[in-house]
Amino acid sequence: MNPRFELAHLAHAELLTPDMEGSLWFFTELLGMREVARQGDSVYLRCYEDPYHHSLKLTGSDAPGLGNLGWRATSADALDRRAAALDTAGLGRGWTRGDLGVGRTFAFESPDGHPMELVWDIEKYVAPPELRSPILTRRSKRPLQGLPPRRLDHVNLMASDVTAQKEVFEQTLGFGTRERVVDFSSGTEIGAWMSVNILGHEMAIMADSTGSRGRLHHLAFWYGVPQHNTDAAELCREYGVRIEAGPDVHGITQGAFLYVFEPGGNRIELFGNSGILELEPDFETVTWDLADFDTGIAIGGATLPAETYFVYGTPPVPGQEKLVATGGARS
Figure out which of the listed residues 21, 39, 95, 237 binds a copy of itself, where binding follows CB under 8 A: 237
* Interface positions, 23-82, toward a copy of itself (CB under 8 A): 29-30, 32, 49, 51, 72-75
Residue 37: CB minimum distance to a copy of itself, A: 20
Q: What is the largest CA-CA distance in the chain?
A: 59
Figure out which of the listed residues 212, 228, 241, 270 binds a copy of itself, where binding follows CB under 8 A: 228
- Under DSSP, the state recorded for 150 is -
Stretch that binds a copy of itself, among 37-45, 85-93, 102-110, 287-295 (CB under 8 A): 287-295
Figure out which of the listed residues 21, 171, 226, 325 binds a copy of itself, where binding follows CB under 8 A: 226
Q: Which helix (H) or strand (E) holds 175?
A: none
Q: Which of 143, 139, 141 is nearest to 126 (CA)?
A: 139
Figure out which of the listed residues 123, 230, 321, 328 binds a copy of itself, where binding follows CB under 8 A: 230
- Under DSSP, the state recorded for 126 is -
* Burial track 62-99 (b if 16+ CB lie within 10 A, e otherwise): eebbbbbbbbbbbeeebbeebbebbeeeebbeeeeebb
Residue 12: CB minimum distance to a copy of itself, A: 12
Figure out which of the listed residues 1, 227, 291, 325 binds a copy of itself, where binding follows CB under 8 A: 227
Is residue 306 classed exposed, middle or buried when 0-12, 13-18 and 19+ CB atoms within 10 A define those classes? exposed
**Chain centre distance of CA 86:** 21
* Interface positions, 100-159, toward a copy of itself (CB under 8 A): 124, 130-131, 133-138, 141-142, 144-147, 151
Please list, in sequence order, all residues whose beta carbon lies within 8 angstroms of the beta carbon of residue 75, skipping any fewer than 6 positions away. 120
**Chain centre distance of CA 196:** 14
CB atoms within 10 A of CB 49: 21
Closest CB to a copy of itself among residues 61, 254: 254
- Under DSSP, the state recorded for 30 is I
Gap between the Cα atoms of 46 and 49, Å rounded: 8
Count of residues binding a copy of itself (CB under 8 A)?
A: 82
Closest CB to a copy of itself among residues 49, 189: 49
Residue 24: CB minimum distance to a copy of itself, A: 14
Closest CB to a copy of itself among residues 42, 221: 221
Closest CB to a copy of itself among residues 148, 316: 148
Closest CB to a copy of itself among residues 111, 191: 191
Figure out which of the listed residues 4, 21, 38, 88 binds a copy of itself, where binding follows CB under 8 A: 4
Residue 98, phi-psi category: left (phi > 0), alpha (psi -120 to 50), beta (remainder) = left
Query: Is the Cβ–Cβ distance between 91 and 108 less than 8 Å?
Result: yes
Closest CB to a copy of itself among residues 255, 315: 255
The reply on whether position 279 binds a copy of itself by CB under 8 A is yes
Stretch that binds a copy of itself, among 1-9, 15-23, 211-219, 318-326 (CB under 8 A): 1-9
Query: Is the Cβ–Cβ distance between 276 and 200 less than 8 Å?
Result: yes
Binding marks (x or -) toward a copy of itself, 289..328, rule CB under 8 A? ------xx--xxxxx-------------------------
Stretch that binds a copy of itself, among 87-95, 102-110, 182-190, 197-205 (CB under 8 A): 197-205
DSSP β-bridge partners for residue 270? 221, 258
Query: Is the Cβ–Cβ distance between 28 and 45 less than 8 Å?
Result: yes
